[in-house]
Amino acid sequence: MRVTQSMLSGNMLRNLNNSYGKMSKLQDQLTSGSKITRPSDDPVIAVKGMGYRRDLAKVEQYTRNMITANSWLDSSDESLNQVGEQMKRVRELVIQAANGTNTPEDRDKIKKEIDQIRQQIQDVGNTNIDGSYIFSGTNTNQPLFTPVAGGGKEINPNLNAADKGVNIEIYDGIQIQVNTPGKDLFENINDMMGKISDLLGDPSKNGEELGDMLGGVSSSSTNDDITTMHNKILEAQADIGARQNRVEMMENRLGIREVNVTKQLRDNESVDYSKAITEMVTNESIHQAALSVGAKIIQQTLVDFIR
């Protein structure tokens, strides 16, 4: 096959263009720190990168969900802890009121404090987080207690799903209940407080009947006494604590997943600088050699050609 001058020129220019392309790609990698700057550079790396970024986006969303879950659980625990502390004070007041030596004025003072504690517990039942009532089941837009004619509050009669749980997804396919339906618990406590108040306001009721409200082994428990209510509060707090521990474990798991996916994304896309620099230097040397050899092979003028 006859090799002409135009063939030499064409081959040299084509090879030089390829060399420029390789150096341009390596320069882009060194500048951006990534193996690819567009999906067409390496579709496999691009598709894997999309998957890793999708996983990181899910991790970010689950992290936000866990912040919400912790907010609900912490608030529920703190609220029930307040109610538990109030139950201790109610016990002290009932023990004091059960003493037969109290005057009507003494009983009236105790009654007033009991009524204030009852209102405080109702306010706790209406605890609101970012516009959501945490003890109203799935009726998060409605308070647990609503005002009634003549003063005071009662359980909201419009709560249709007050015993339902509010679930939040905290991992792939894993949901956790973040609320504590409080309708039954707060209603029972509210009724018990009302009964104690009525006993204190009735002069015909003696200390023994008030003592029965204490509950426990030594009294005739009626399942609506102070001991029973306090135990129910502690049971609810124990349940919240278990869910808090579960969220904490899932947070650790999510943190490990984030670290692993971030490493996979880095290994998939990040350029190996030592390797890229070595290839860049090698390609520059080859390119310069090609330019030098090409200048000698290809004659630049007719005089050089016929000499």
In contact, 270 and 34? CB cutoff 8 Å: yes
Residue 130 burial (10 A CB sphere; 0-12, 13-18, 19+):
exposed
Asked if residue 44 is part of any domain, the answer here is no
74: tokens are: 């912490």
**Strand 153-155, strand 167-171: pairing:** unpaired
Q: Does one domain contain both 103 and 27?
A: no
Q: Are residues 297 and 248 in the same domain?
A: no
182 and 147 together in one domain: yes
260 and 295 inside one domain:
no
Alpha carbons 193 and 197: distance in angstroms, whole number: 6
Task: Identify the CATH number of the domain in which residue 247 sits.
Answer: 1.20.1330.10
171 and 238 belong to one structural domain? yes
Please check whether residues 198 and 302 belong to one and the same domain. Answer: no
| Domain identity same for 129 and 228 | yes
Do residue 288 and residue 213 come from a single domain?
no
Note whether residue 55 is domain-resident: no
The pTM of this model reads 0.76
**Per-residue model confidence as pLDDT tens for the chain (307 residues):** 665 666 666 676 776 677 666 667 767 666 767 767 777 777 888 888 899 999 999 999 999 999 999 999 999 999 999 999 999 999 999 999 888 778 889 889 999 999 999 999 999 999 999 889 999 988 989 999 999 887 788 998 888 877 788 999 999 889 999 999 888 999 999 999 999 999 988 888 777 888 888 886 544 445 678 999 999 999 999 999 999 999 999 999 999 999 999 999 888 877 766 776 777 677 777 767 766 766 666 655 544 555 5
Per the structure, how many domains does the chain have? 2
Range of the domain at 124: 74-264
Are 124 and 253 in a shared domain?
yes
Extract the tokens encoding 216: 């426990």
